[in-house]
Amino acid sequence: MKEAVLVLIKPDALQKSLTGNILSRISSTDLEIIGAKVVKVSRELAEAHYAHLKDKPFFEDVIDYICGNQHGKHKVIALVYYGENAVSQLRTLAGATNPEEADPTTIRGAYGRITTKGVYENVIHVSDSVESAEREIKMWFSPDELIVDLYPSRTMVEGTRVIRIWE
């Protein structure tokens, strides 16, 4: 069964010009890109994306990080990858959350760092399950921005445009 996964190339990776390296590592899989865009992350989107960390002491720092406030790059590259075992394939390539614990051959192990404040700057986000992937993809992409119909959607008329929204 094919799965979809949200991947974010985070602001530290963009500042370090790592986009090519990261995409090239992921291209070693047989996964297909079915959506891609550059996003200026709003505080609202960041808070929704990291809602599971709301009570953590580092929540504010992580919101600042994904919004690009630490890196002078107020953007991320958002991608949806699709294929068999996409979650486990991409989580394995990404490596552990803590870049110091991540295997050095993984993306986070190779390129991540821990800041003096203790924030894990780990260059990439990867959904951790099929369920979180669905929640996250619906938050970051509209149905029209994906080339595969992943989840139920419906059409809506907005002014003169016909658009699709998630059900």
Catalytic positions, please? 125
How near is the Cβ of 13 to Mg ion at its closest, in Å? 16
Question: 49: how many CB neighbours lie within 10 A of its CB?
Answer: 21
Site string for Mg ion, 100-129 (x = CB under 5 A): ----------------------------x-
Which residues make up the interface to ligand UDP (CB under 6 A)? Answer: 53, 58, 62, 97, 119-120, 122, 125, 128
Biggest CA–CA distance in the chain, Å, is 52
How near is the Cβ of 161 to ligand UDP at its closest, in Å? 35
Instruction: Tell the residue number behind the tokens 């809602």, with chain if given.
Output: 51
From start to end of the chain, where are the E strands?
2-9, 32-39, 76-84, 113-114, 120-121, 124-126, 153-158, 161-166
Residue nearest to ligand UDP (CB): 97
How near is the Cβ of 58 to ligand UDP at its closest, in Å? 5
**Which residue, 71 or 125, is less far from ligand UDP as judged by CB?**
125
Rounded-to-integer distance, Cα 4 and Cα 146, Å: 11
**Which residue, 44 or 60, is less far from ligand UDP as judged by CB?**
60
Coil, strand or helix: which one is 34?
strand
